Amino acid sequence: MKNSLEIENLRVTVDEKEILTGVDLKIKPKEVHALMGRNGSGKSTLAQTLMGNPIYKVVEGSAKIYGKEILNLEPTERAQLGLFLSFQYPSEIPGVRVYSYLRMLYNKSHEQKLSPKMFKELLQENMKLLEMDDSFADRFLNEGFSGGEKKRMEMLQMMMLEPKVVILDEVDSGLDIDAIKIVSKAVNNLMERNGTSVLLITHYSRILNHIKPDFVHIMLDGKIIKTGGEEVAQNLEEYGYSQAELVSPTVKDEE
């Protein structure tokens, strides 16, 4: 089976300082890989680099979506290949209505166009799953939204786009347990119906109770230094990022 996301020896600098020092990662379709680590370990740098943020300069390595190299592509081209990044702090876009924005995204990402009636039905179906009132479709994108509403809005975009690879960068940040359950339901639904792969960047294991990881990776000083199963996340809750715990043998190797 071809990997949905494959990263090899990825080294990245910011302002001439090396942040990623050789990241290797392989994700198969429908797999969930959790990426954990201290602040400053390089987790968000990896996400931003994969999506094409020009601040991050690739020094060496490759990143492929289903065998297609993406590091030489523009962010829009990466998105068209099926890559989606959920931001920690979604932006407000006054004057752009949610319905119009999502219709444009859908038409650009799908060869088969839907009639206005069918599109509205699909939108309402996804909004219902996210427990969003229909009135959200008439509001300006993220304007006046609470933090939780902005996260749901991002999940709605994700569900309408139906990407092949989803990167969730601290999607659980600032959410209460009910909001985490709703976000997780959306991610699990997309994986089930679309075969989507997930790279879940998080500091805490609580979201992993709802989005079950196949692998948990620990990042330190710009590279993945430990890979295992859910036990790795559980051990972090108990011991933290102590050196002794990080260098202990992995409990589950990737095949």
Helix H, strand E, coil C: the string for 149-217 is HHHHHHHHHHHHHCCCEEEEECCCCCCCHHHHHHHHHHHHHHHHHHCCEEEEECCCCHHHHCCCCCEEE
Query: If you average pLDDT over residues 105-131, what whole number do you get?
Result: 93
Which of 15, 142, 152 lies closest to 91 in space, CA to CA? Answer: 142
Look at residue 244 and tell me whether its pLDDT is greater than 60: no
- Asked if the model's pLDDT at residue 251 lies above 70, the reply is no
Look up residue 220 and give its amino acid.
Answer: L
Q: Is the pLDDT of residue 45 over 60?
A: yes
Q: Is 222 left (phi over 0), alpha (psi -120 to 50) or beta?
A: left
The overall pTM is greater than 0.85: yes
pLDDT tier for residue 255 given thresholds of 50, 70 and 90? very low
What's the CATH number for 1-82+164-180+199-255?
Answer: 3.40.50.300
Q: Where are the domains of the chain?
A: 1-82+164-180+199-255, 90-163
- Write down the pLDDT at residue 146: 86
